[in-house]
Amino acid sequence: MGRTIAEKILAAHTSVENFSEGDIIKVDIDLALANDITAPVAIHAFRSKGFNTVNDPGKIVFVLDHFTPNKDIESAQQCKLVREFAKEHGIKGLFEGGEAGIEHALLPEKGLVVPGDLVIGADSHTCTYGALGAFSTGIGSTDFAAALVTSQAWLRVPESMKFTFKGELQKWVGGKDLILYLIGDIGVDGALYRVLEIDGPAIASLDMSNRLTMTNMAIEAGAKAGIIAADGVTEFYASQRSNRSYTVYRSDPDAHYVAVKEYDCSNIEPQIAFPHLPENTRGISEVGEILLDQVFIGSCTNGRIEDLRLAAHIMRNQKVSKGLRCIIIPATPGVYMEALKEGLLEIFMEAGAVIGPPTCGPCLGGHMGILADGEKALSTTNRNFVGRMGHPGSEVYLANPAVAAASAITGKISSPEEVFS
């Protein structure tokens, strides 16, 4: 029997010649990453076991992005610990201050992941890099500590599920809507510890930004990894950012999948995930009048330049609804600079939006946009659990950047068509 993309990448990174779904194998990693929340836990574990040498500093990346710029003394101490550890062990892959962006937007932008890589990260949304044809998955901080010592990881070989998207995309529909539709179909545990392999002609028509959005949210279906086979779009993206050699893997025709599903994109309209789960999705036409207190555009899901261009297109010559807070955060310094050069930030500011420095802050209820009791927010982020963005009594709705921008103008969850009508 043939192998899936995921199985081929695992095979290329392990000495185990014959393995099957469910087997536990040891794999060599190409990259391990952690942030200002998860890295300190790993560092304490590393030191508590008496280790004093990082096996391969070149394979380690620290991105200080969650509570930065430091929101309090505790977060400052966390970042100091990571900074000093990186210096002590010669880890050059430290991104902080003006170099720091949201990790899962920053690493692809910097060319640190290429097709065929095996990446682990102490953050659940490490699955983002599957859009590059890599196998990438989230791990715990203690597993990251082990990777510091060994440059390896133990993984149980996951089963794979295949999702094929066909048909023409409706207007204002992008990768965010496709993945929300998928999650709404199979549920937040529908791909539990499985690889969510995505393909089809509709996917081939997407740019890398939309693909990264889709694999970013694979974990919201419980997946171990999300993956999209590398094609010409992927290779052009990678070649512009990295000079590393890489291998493109494709699933064999007779590869085994525990489930195969097809979707007709012509039937998928912009999606809204209602509180308090990403699976609680409805098409925009099914949404009644829901007044909003806050709109957030940003995060590792939808904070790239393509997302900001889309939002700016809708917000140009418009004004944010009175009494609503619209917060826009470019995902990386590179995105921020490009948005500045293109005049997007001017559009947002003239509309009355607040622009923040690259940070994960609002997404996890950390800082830069916390919700109060009873407030409702529409967000381009990936999770809307109880208390995710602030008070447990608040509500978070998820949507794509076009819907978010339109909703900031109208003051309620709205289709972009309502702005242009």
Is residue 245 assigned to a domain? Answer: yes
Is residue 268 assigned to a domain? Answer: no
Question: What distance in Å separates the CA atoms of residue 11 and residue 297, rounded to the nearest whole number?
Answer: 39
Are 304 and 357 in a shared domain?
Answer: yes
Q: What percent of the chain has pLDDT over 70?
A: 100
Is residue 1 assigned to a domain? Answer: no
pLDDT digits (tens, 9 = 90+) for 361-397: 999 989 999 999 999 999 999 999 999 999 999 999 9
Q: How does residue 102 score in pLDDT terms, banded at 50, 70 and 90?
A: very high
Nearest of 37, 53, 96, 109 to residue 305 by alpha carbon: 109
The answer to whether the CB of 382 falls within 8 A of the CB of 278 is yes
Is residue 33 assigned to a domain? Answer: yes
Q: Which of 210, 236, 263 is the last residue of a domain?
A: 263
Residue 28 tokens read as 């060599």
Are 316 and 403 in a shared domain?
Answer: yes
Are 278 and 228 in a shared domain?
Answer: no
State the pLDDT at residue 145: 96
The answer to whether the CB of 377 falls within 8 A of the CB of 296 is yes
Are 183 and 291 in a shared domain?
Answer: no
CA of residue 302 relative to chain centroid, distance: 8
Mean predicted confidence (pLDDT) in 124-152? 96
Q: What residues make up the domain containing 337? A: 273-420
Is residue 252 assigned to a domain? Answer: yes
- CATH number, domain of 131, equals 3.30.499.10
Mean per-residue pLDDT of the chain: 96
Are 104 and 247 in a shared domain?
Answer: yes
State the pLDDT at residue 1: 77
Which residue do the tokens 């819907």 mark? 403
Are 253 and 387 in a shared domain?
Answer: no
State the pLDDT at residue 68: 87
Are 283 and 154 in a shared domain?
Answer: no
Longest dimension (CA), the chain: 65
Is residue 85 assigned to a domain? Answer: yes
Q: Which of 263, 284, 314 is the last residue of a domain?
A: 263
Mean predicted confidence (pLDDT) in 249-264? 96
Are 366 and 315 in a shared domain?
Answer: yes
Are 388 and 346 in a shared domain?
Answer: yes
Are 151 and 201 in a shared domain?
Answer: yes
Is residue 124 assigned to a domain? Answer: yes
Q: Which of 234, 263, 292 is the last residue of a domain?
A: 263
Handedness of CA 102, 349, 206, 413 (dihedral sign): positive
Total of domains in the chain: 2
Range of lowest pLDDT (9-13, 56-60, 382-386, 417-421): 417-421
